[in-house]
Amino acid sequence: NAGVMQNPRHLVRRRGQEARLRCSPMKGHSHVYWYRQLPEEGLKFMVYLQKENIIDESGMPKERFSAEFPKEGPSILRIQQVVRGDSAAYFCASSLKRAPYNEQFFGPGTRLTVL
Amino acid sequence: AQKVTQAQTEISVVEKEDVTLDCVYETRDTTYYLFWYKQPPSGELVFLIRRNSFDEQNEISGRYSWNFQKSTSSFNFTITASQVVDSAVYFCALTTDNFGNEKLTFGTGTRLTIIP
């Protein structure tokens, strides 16, 4: 049973470009969570999605950031017009059912570098 | 609101020494879950343990042990006979049973360096 997959593992963008980060949850998991880890900091929650629905986006920046989890395909975290401050590691986690009853399994992360 | 504090930013110990990583949490909920994760230099997050608020029994897994004390809101992690492979950043995290609050709240992490 494959774990949570994230791609790309490393992404380099220039200021003003768009970044698309993909997360494929574990098989059968319909709950996805995105976290951001700024350099030398802990992980901060961004958004929680179920299939086709955003459940909690309280940690998402108000502008430039969006997330989706379509009925088919991976979850996508999209950052428009990236700035240097967006450079971070972005982790995706999935759970079978609603956490905390079901553990969140983390992917390997996508390291975004904005030049 | 919930909060996790890991006051130790960095710790260095010589190999084979024991080391304890502190974690203090805050939550108003009576049902909550505490976690420890390891982040080695390669960057991935490795799950170590989950403990719910109703289970105050300490846990031991090989060289790892965890001391959960509700009276002091602490969930400390001890590595005995440390090894170089234990070098990593360790995160303590908290979530609660509130519907709509499924997110994990992480501490800022403790960077542990084991000196050979």
What would the DSSP string read from start to end of A50-110? ETTEEEE-TTS-SSSEEEE--SSS-EEEEE-S--GGG-EEEEEEEESSSTTTSPPEE---E
Query: Under the phi-then-psi rule, with left for phi > 0, alpha for psi from -120 to 50, and beta for the rest, what region is B72?
Result: alpha
User: Residue B47's closest chain A neighbor by CA?
Assistant: A105
Distance (Å, rounded) from C-alpha A70 to C-alpha B104? 23
Place of tokens 């343990």: B49
Q: Please tell me the predicted confidence (pLDDT) of residue B90.
A: 97
Residues 82-101 of A with CB under 8 A from B: 89, 91, 93, 98-100
For residue A111, the chain B residues in CB contact (below 8 A) are 43
Contact call for A98 and B43, based on CB within 8 A: no
A105 phi/psi in degrees, rounded to 5: -100, 130
| pLDDT tens for each residue of B13-63 | 999 999 999 999 999 988 899 999 999 998 889 989 989 898 888 888 899
Q: Looking at the partner chain, which of A41, A45, A108 has a beta carbon nearest the beta carbon of B103?
A: A45
Which of A37-41, B32-36, B110-114 reaches the highest mean pLDDT? Answer: B110-114
Kindly indicate the confidence band of residue B101, based on its pLDDT and cuts at 50, 70 and 90.
Answer: low
